[in-house]
Amino acid sequence: MVNTKSISQYEGVRFERGNCGVSIMRSGEAMEQGLRDCCRSIRIGKILIQSDEETLKAKVYYAKFPPDIYRRKVLLMYPILSSGNTVVEAVRVLTDHGVQPSHIILLSLFSTPHGAKSIIEEFPDITILTTEVHSVSPIHFGQKYFGTD
């Protein structure tokens, strides 16, 4: 049975200037080409976040964004949303650069309910677009996509 309270109807899209993409390296980079195919001249920033395997605390190692990112809507690319820790840290970095959470759209392929909930609890104004919500997320997406598994 489908819970209709959590489903929103999608009305379509129209092109809007002033967007930019930010990929969470490495797996998020798999989504860059699709974004460039749709929006040829879009600017893309990068952020590298690694989680400590013992504490699961996310740490930012690198971040490079368009200089005017605070004026743009950000399409944050991260294909597999599991715990949400990495995305929460990425959103913190974006907000530190002046981006409003309401201007961030997380693009993911698979999400866990726990991951989505942890992001919304921390940043209730963020938008999450995903193709599937399931309690078990696929693992090692980046390694399989880039052929390094």
| 34-86 pLDDT per residue, tens | 888 888 889 999 999 987 778 778 889 999 999 999 999 999 999 888 888 99
| 12-37 pLDDT per residue, tens | 666 667 899 999 987 788 888 888 88
Reply yes or no on whether the pLDDT at 94 is more than 60.
Answer: yes
Query: First-to-last CA distance in the chain?
Result: 37
Reply yes or no on whether the pLDDT at 106 is more than 50.
Answer: yes
128 Rama sector, left if φ>0, alpha if ψ -120 to 50, beta otherwise: beta
1-10, 22-31, 52-61, 125-134: which has the minimum mean pLDDT? Answer: 1-10
Burial-class residue 78 by CB neighbours within 10 Å (0-12, 13-18, 19+): buried
Q: Which residues are 51's β-sheet partners? A: 58
pTM of the model: 0.80
53-57, 71-75, 90-94, 125-129: which has the minimum mean pLDDT? Answer: 53-57
Residue 45 is classified by DSSP as E
For 48, other C-beta atoms within 10 Å of its C-beta total 16
- Please give the pLDDT value at position 55: 77
Residue 4 is classified by DSSP as G
